[in-house]
Structure 1
């Protein structure tokens, strides 16, 4: 299995295959999720001191805070996936 890294802003990357969800941090349930992850030592702050604009949830229950909009991260994730599909359609395995 190939490991693909996804840029989540400010020089930070996440393994794309481990992402379960990318959500906006503004709702009360997401704020609770963030606090619960902090209590469980599973919170990773990748905002570099900037405002949290998205929350990334991984399959290992880690919660990653990013300073990049959720829509932007989703676009990067789908663009990266699209490039892989196009490459495999041109004779890849």
Structure 2
């Protein structure tokens, strides 16, 4: 089952497609974002606000978010815990 994560301002990403959530502050990441924009591989979910996180997907797309990487990771981990708890309940019932 696909889990969706809110990355801010009503924008949602499929958690199964996320490879990394990184800060955009380092020069190599800034170059990576600019290259993605130039090649049409950047998805801007900031709604005009400052980019505070870059989400790398398995398709090579970069999703830009105005939320901090820690905030997105906490939402991602919360979903992961729910999945693990559901799996444990299913195993207990067998």
Q: How does 1:54-69 map to 2 (within 5 A)?
A: 54-69=53-68
Structure 2 CA distance, aligned partners of 1:68 and 1:90?
Answer: 33
Structure number with greater Rg is 2
TM-score, normalization: structure 2? 0.93
Structure 1 CA distance, aligned partners of 2:76 and 2:37?
Answer: 26
Runs of 4+ in structure 1 deviating by more than 4 angstroms, as ranges, are none
TM-score, normalization: structure 1? 0.94
Number of equivalent positions: 92
- Hey, what does 2:26 align to over in structure 1? 27
Q: Does 1:78 align with 2:66?
A: no
Q: What is the root-mean-square deviation in Å for CA atoms of aligned residues? A: 1.2
DSSP-derived class of the 2:79 partner: helix
Structure 1: gaps (5+ residues)? none
Q: By percentage of residues, which structure has more helix?
A: 2
